[in-house]
Amino acid sequence: MIRVLAFDVFGTVVDWRSSIIGELERFGNRQGVQRDWSSFADSWRAGYGPAMDLVRRGELPWTRLDDLHRRILDELLRDVEIQADEDDVDHLNRAWHRLAPWPDAVKGLHRLKERFTITTLSNGNVSLLTDMAKHAGLPWDCVLSAEIFGHYKPDPEAYLGCAQMLDVAPDEAMLVAAHPSDLRAARDAGLRTAYVDRPLEWGQPGRHRVAFESGEFDVVATDLHDLADRL
């Protein structure tokens, strides 16, 4: 019996790429500069895994995702030779607090919330996730984050901490994510798993999509409405 649905957020619930490209275009217009913002957005996102791994390996003390995003952003701005005011860069860095949901996300979450406790289980910090929920209208029952557990996914402590804090056994919690690696780590920690297909996460349909075996996850859904139907 599943009691808790724990959601990966970036890519699974919100369309980070379109949102970030839009914010970068507005930033560029304010600065009066033009760059390849799609490629910039992809690089920003690509820097997140390696930065987090520094924390996961203990080479960097605990650092919030906001601050990891900022380190990557500062480097990328140097690379493309843009100098901007601190306020402008800070506002841009908080673009991750203002991501737009996928079209099915808000209604799908409302449906799922009727039967389950729905929580974030994201590497985003609590203030990021809280701001995003207000901005996008995401009706979370609670906001859980790697920040609370002091461990970034895919460390098992994040998945187990979520189940423990919501007072359910690991197999009473289901991770919902668009990324097989996240789901595999959740499954290895004893959680149930639901894959949600987000073919447009990286722009062109299917770009960077990772294959998985049939039967690897408990549920495979096309979006959150389909997930609600299947559960």
157 binds a second copy (CB under 8 A): no
Say how many residues touch a second copy, by CB under 8 A.
Answer: 21
Instruction: Select from 60, 165, 219, 220 the one that contacts a second copy (CB under 8 A).
Output: 165
Instruction: Pick between residue 110 and residue 184 the one whose CB is nearest to a second copy.
Output: 110
- State the minimum distance, in angstroms, from the CB of residue 177 to a second copy: 21
- State the minimum distance, in angstroms, from the CB of residue 204 to a second copy: 35
Instruction: Select from 36, 79, 167, 188 the one that contacts a second copy (CB under 8 A).
Output: 167
Lay out the site mask for a second copy across 116-155 (x = CB under 8 A, - = otherwise): -x-x-----xxx-xxx-xx-----xxxxx--xx-------
Q: Helix 180-188 crosses helix 156-165 at what angle (to 10 degrees)?
A: 70
Instruction: Pick between residue 123 and residue 202 the one whose CB is nearest to a second copy.
Output: 123
Distance (Å, rounded) from C-alpha 229 to C-alpha 220?
11
Instruction: Pick between residue 108 and residue 161 the one whose CB is nearest to a second copy.
Output: 161
Residues 49-68 that bind a second copy (CB under 8 A): 66
Instruction: Pick between residue 120 and residue 193 the one whose CB is nearest to a second copy.
Output: 120
Interface residues with a second copy (CB under 8 A)?
Answer: 66, 117, 119, 125-127, 129-131, 133-134, 140-144, 147-148, 165-167
